[in-house]
Chain A
Amino acid sequence: MKVTVHVHRRPDIADPQGTTVARALRDLGYENVGKVRINRTIELDVQGTDPAVVEAEVRTMCERLLANPVMEDFEVVIG
Chain B
Amino acid sequence: MKAAVIVFPGTNCEHDAVYALASVGVDAELVWHRETDLSGFAGVILPGGFAHGDYLRTGAIARFSPVMTEVERLAGAGVPVLGICNGFQVLCEAGLLPGVLLQNAGLRFICRPVHLLVTSTDSVLTRAARIGQVLEIPLNSFEGNYTADPITFAHMQETGRVALRYSNAAGEVTEKANPNGSLGNTAGITNRTGNVAGLMPHPERAIEDVLGSSDGRVLVESFALSMSLAHA
Which residues from chain A contact B103 at a C-beta distance below 8 Å? Answer: 16-17
Contacts of B2 in A (CB 8 A): none
Q: Are B100 and A68 in contact (CB-based, < 8 A)? A: yes
CB within 8 Å for A65 and B56 given contacts A70-B99, A70-B149: yes
Closest to B92 in A: A70
Question: A65-B56, A68-B100, A71-B102 in contact; A16/B147 too (CB < 8 A)?
Answer: no
Q: Which of A12, A16, A65, A71 has the most CB of B within 10 A?
A: A16
Task: Say yes or no: B105 contacts A16, CB within 8 Å.
Answer: yes
**Interface SS of B by simple majority:** loop
Q: Which residue of A lies closest to B100 (CB)?
A: A70
Chain B residues within 8 Å of A66, by CB: 56
A70 touches B148 (CB 8 A): yes
Q: Digit string of B124-148 for contact with A (CB within 8 Å is 1, else 0)?
A: 0000000000000000000001011
- Once bound together, how far apart are the Cα atoms of A71 and B61, in whole Å? 16
Residues in B with CB closer than 8 Å to A70 are 92, 99-100, 148-149
Question: Which of the residues A16, A17, A20 comes within 8 Å of B181, measured between beta carbons?
Answer: A16
In the complex, B213 has a CB within 8 A of chain A: no
Q: Mark A25-64, 1 if CB is under 8 A from B, else 0.
A: 0000000000000000000000000000000000000000
**B57 / chain A contacts, CB cutoff of 8 Å:** 68
Bound Cα distance A65, B62 (Å): 10
Distance from B68 Cβ to chain A, minimum over Cβ atoms (Å): 13
CA–CA, A65 to B59, complex, Å?
10
B residues 72-114 in Cβ contact with A at 8 Å: 92-93, 99-100, 102-107
A-B contact pairs, 18 of them (CB 8 A): A13-B102, A13-B147, A14-B105, A14-B181, A16-B105, A16-B106, A16-B107, A16-B145, A17-B103, A20-B107, A65-B56, A65-B60, A68-B57, A68-B100, A70-B92, A70-B149, A71-B100, A71-B102
